[in-house]
Amino acid sequence: MIDEFLTYLRYERNRSERTLLSYSKNLSLFEGFFKGLDANLSWSTVDSDVVRLWMEDMMDKGNKASSVCCRLSSVKSFYRYALARGLVKRDPTLDVDGPKKEKPLPQFVKESQMDELLDKSSWGEDYKSTLKRVILMTFYETGIRLSELIGLEDKDVDLTRQELKVTGKRDKQRVIPFGEELAVALRDYIAVRNREIERRDAGLFALEKGTRVTGPWVRLMVREELARVCTLRKRSPHVLRHSFATAMLNHDADLESVRKLLGHVSLSTTEIYTHTTFEQLKRIYKDAHPRA
């Protein structure tokens, strides 16, 4: 039946040789598994419990969820074909779902690295240096998105109350508190900007030509500056957002508060950061416990 299915894929579905090879391998793996359980089993007599046992076996052997889902997909396609042509009487994969695919853990910059990067003594006194440092601080100390930072105007910053009003996705506004260090940096930046730059719009963060900063400029700047203190492959404004959330949770902030600060609609979106901090706990445990 496998050969018939592959012939169908080749000539009727015009699938590539690479795809055919993948299907052939995946189906052979499943057949080898159920024959290993019971030599009398066949494609017609396999049930859903056997399919689930196969998935469990793959996961136990260290296969990633994405690989298991890919192999299961091949078997599901085969059974749809076989059922439509009367080669089998039932599809044992019909009620079987693949394992949830792993979400990649968000990358973040360590607190010590951010402290090193934002240390004022490592920056020049010129306008561009002042602008770069205060943007990095704003990302790290408020967790705002790139689009939110670009959209900031002077009226959105309350230096007395130390609050930032940002407009997020779907034009939803939220107020984010910030600390004294960022308040000082913003106050100094605005003074330098007003003295040295002739602004052409109301953007809070302005380039030397007077226009507000752009996405490409900010992305490149963040990438270059983060390279000074870390070796992360991904070095973007969103990594600084991840770094903000991770630092908050590492210092005992509750998940709901972090959700509100980040502007997430659902708590499930924020929960991925708990995996990051738990991974850190595991590393600490492994390094510190004498029997770990």
Catalytic: 251?
A: no
Tokens of 11: 């000539």
**169 noted as active-site residue:** yes
* Identified catalytic residue from 79, 140, 189, 273: 273
DSSP state of 90: -
Phi–psi pair at 206, nearest 5 degrees: -115, 140
What is the number of H-type helices and E-type strands within the chain?
13, 3
Catalytic residue among 10, 15, 110, 264: 264
Which entry of 169, 172, 228, 275 is annotated as an active-site residue?
169
Q: Which residue type is seen at 66?
A: S
Cα angle 171, 173, 174; round to 5: 150
Question: Which of 174, 223, 238, 260 is labelled catalytic?
Answer: 238
User: Cβ(183)–Cβ(147) under 8 Å?
Assistant: no
Q: Which of 71, 212, 235, 241 is catalytic?
A: 241
145 carries an active-site annotation: yes
Query: H/E/C letters for each residue in 206-275?
Result: ECCCCCECCHHHHHHHHHHHHCCCCCCCCCCHHHHHHHHHHHHHHCCCCHHHHHHHHCCCCHHHHCHHHH
Tokens at residue 269, please? Answer: 């979106």
CB neighbour list of residue 203: distance below 8 Å, 6 or more residues apart: 150, 152, 153, 211, 212, 213
Q: Respond yes or no: is residue 238 known to be catalytic.
A: yes
Rounded alpha-carbon distances, angstroms, from residue 93 to 59, 69, 88, 264, 283: 17, 12, 12, 36, 39
Smallest CA-to-CA distance from 163 within 143, 179, 146 is with 179
CA atoms 97, 98, 99, 100: torsion sign: negative
Report how far residue 120's alpha carbon sits from residue 221's, in angstroms, rounded to the nearest whole number. Answer: 17
Please pick, among 145, 165, 199, 223, the residue that the annotation labels catalytic. 145
Report the catalytic residues.
Answer: 145, 169, 238, 241, 264, 273
